[in-house]
Every structure is written in C-alpha cells, then in structure tokens.
Amino acid sequence: MKRALICGISGQDGAYLAKLLLSKGYEVWGTSRDAQVTSFSRLTRLGIYDQVHLLSMAPNDFRSVLQALSRSHPQEIYFLAGQSSVGLSFEQPAETLDSILQGTLNLLEAIRFLGEGIRLYHASSSESFGDLAGQPATEETPFRPRSPYAVAKASAHWLVANYREAYGLFACNGILFNHESPLRPPRFVTRKIVAAACRIAAGSSEKLALGRLDVARDWGWAPDYVEAMWRMLAQDSPGDFIIATGQTHSLEEFVRTAFALVGLDWREHVVCSPELIRPSDIAWSGGNPARARERLGWTASQTMHDVIRLMIEAERTTPSY
C-alpha cells in the first residue's frame, strides 16, 4: 500500500486529492497547521474524514515539517498548503511569502535530509505568468508575476526546479490554471457569483458587487486537476506541467452563464465596484495543456459551462446561505 502525505488537506484540492488517492488504495495522511481545531469540513462533506490520518504541521517551521514526515513515512508528498488568495496577498504579503516560500524550502530540505526517495508534488501557479495578452502559456513561457502571491509561487517553483537538478530529487511543479468546485471558499469570485445567483433566484433582492468583468481566465474542474497531480508522481521521471482546459473566457461570460442557468439576466443583478479592483490585475490568462496530454495522458473533462452547472447544482443542494 502506498502512503501519501497531503500538506493542506483541509482545502479544496487537498480534500479532492485525498478522495482520489483513497480510491486508488493509498494510505492517506494529511496536515493542517493545527489539526486539533481545524474543522476539516470538506473531508466530512466528501465522506472521507474517518479514512485519513491527520497531523498538525507548520510548513514554515522546519522541525514541525521533519516531525510530520517522520510520523507519516510517505512515499509521496503533495504540498498544497499556504495562503491561497491573490487578493488577500496584497493585504498580507509577508504571511503569503512566508507560508508558500519557506514551506516549500523546508519540505525540500527535509526530503533531502531523510534521503528516502520521497516524491514531491508542488502546487505551482498560473499566476506566476502574469498577463499573457491572449497567448496561452507553455511550460517555457517566462514568469512575470503581478501579485505577492504570484511572486511567492514563482520563487517556490524555481526552488523545486533547483533542488531537482542539484540533488536529484523527484520533484514536480504543477502549474495549475484556475480550477473551481463547490468546495471553494466563499471569498473566491467563482463561488461568490454562483452563491449570489442562487440566492437571487430564490428571492433575494441583493445586488452582486464585482470588480473588473473584462478579465479572462481558463476555468477548470478541481477534481480533474487533482488527478493530474497524481499522474505527475506516477511518471518515470519528474517534470513540470501546465494543467488547464485550453479555453479562456471573460469573467463577464462566467457571470452571464451562471445567472442564465438559474433563469436570470445578470445585467439586472450585478454592479461594478471600484473597491474590488486589485492594485495589479491580470487581464488575460490561459494555458496550453499539450505536454500534460502527451506525457500524462491527461485532459480536462469539464469546461467552464460544465463547471458552473455543477457548482450551481451543488449550491442548490447544500446552500451557503
């Protein structure tokens, strides 16, 4: 039986990944900064809370990281922890850099120190590319980060590549573009839009306030994307992979589709708020997943319209209001 450690198991990706690995016969361990007080509501929602082993681990504390690895003895580690909001990173830049960059460095050093051939998946990010101006990114596209979050992710990405080359570690960067699900926290714009559309369709008189509607993203389905993580660590040799649908849509398209699926005209219920515009935003972002398709045998099963429909179905079954 393979044993995997998921750092950040309480989040969207961590929960879906845990479910996937359990279905493949893994013994799954997971960490949270304080496992005694974390609710792990996503694990409960997926019906797998009692099937995983939970540990407390502070990624920015090397001793804590080493203890977690020594207790769980994983063959595979998935590092998904750290501050994950682009918007919040402008308000908490130091915390963002520390949780992402120091956490990545500590894991790499612990794996090197233990010398047990542990395979590492690191959650890199499409945010590192910055504004792509209509040209889908490949794995060779230069990074031009435009937020503290993106700076941290770009730096951590190169740390992983450096340790792979310098010490021969089996370490992979998954450069994931936007991927959504009903497990997204309400602060994320996709969940915010879907929840508001469902509330308004149910009778709420509120207005949904959003920032720029002309920004464009490549939106996929989170359960698809965690399978790509697993496939990366199943390869004969490590590498970096873009994970995306290959289709980019504007936020206005996302909003229009969400409201249309609940029988509403978005223009009657949405207002633009200058206060929600970030200091530096990416106008267009999209990825070319050709390498993942060719080497991992992975393709996205759901595109933006499917993702919105699935999120609405879940919101109506288990509403956030």
Q: Are residue 28 and residue 149 in the same domain, yes or no?
A: yes
**What does the alpha-carbon distance between residue 72 and residue 55 come to, in Å, rounded to a whole number?**
9
pLDDT at 318: 82
Domain count, the chain: 2
Q: Are residue 146 and residue 198 in the same domain, yes or no?
A: no
Q: Are residue 238 and residue 126 in the same domain, yes or no?
A: yes
Catalytic annotation, residues: 125, 127, 149
Q: Are residue 175 and residue 273 in the same domain, yes or no?
A: no
Q: Determine, yes or no, domain membership for 289.
A: no
Q: What is the domain-level CATH number for residue 114?
A: 3.40.50.720
Q: Determine, yes or no, domain membership for 295.
A: no
Q: Are residue 161 and residue 149 in the same domain, yes or no?
A: yes
pLDDT at 320: 59
Q: Are residue 152 and residue 7 in the same domain, yes or no?
A: yes
Binding residues, by number, are: 212
Q: Are residue 84 and residue 100 in the same domain, yes or no?
A: yes
* Residue 200, domain extent: 185-217+249-282+303-317
Q: Name the stretches of the chain with pLDDT < 70.
A: 319-321
Which backbone phi and psi does 256 adopt, to 5 degrees? Answer: -60, -45
pLDDT tens digits along 176-223: 999 999 999 888 999 999 999 999 999 999 999 999 999 999 999 999
Q: What is the domain-level CATH number for residue 206?
A: 3.90.25.10
Q: Are residue 27 and residue 106 in the same domain, yes or no?
A: yes
% helix, strand, coil for the chain, step of 5: 45, 15, 40
pLDDT at 157: 98
pLDDT at 187: 87
Q: Determine, yes or no, domain membership for 287.
A: no
Q: Are residue 54 and residue 172 in the same domain, yes or no?
A: yes
pLDDT tens digits along 266-296: 999 999 998 888 777 899 999 999 999 999 9
Q: Are residue 259 and residue 171 in the same domain, yes or no?
A: no
pLDDT at 321: 45
**What does the alpha-carbon distance between residue 38 and residue 34 come to, in Å, rounded to a whole number?**
6
pLDDT at 84: 84
Q: Determine, yes or no, domain membership for 13.
A: yes
Q: Are residue 86 and residue 225 in the same domain, yes or no?
A: yes
Binding residues for NADP(+), by number, are: 212
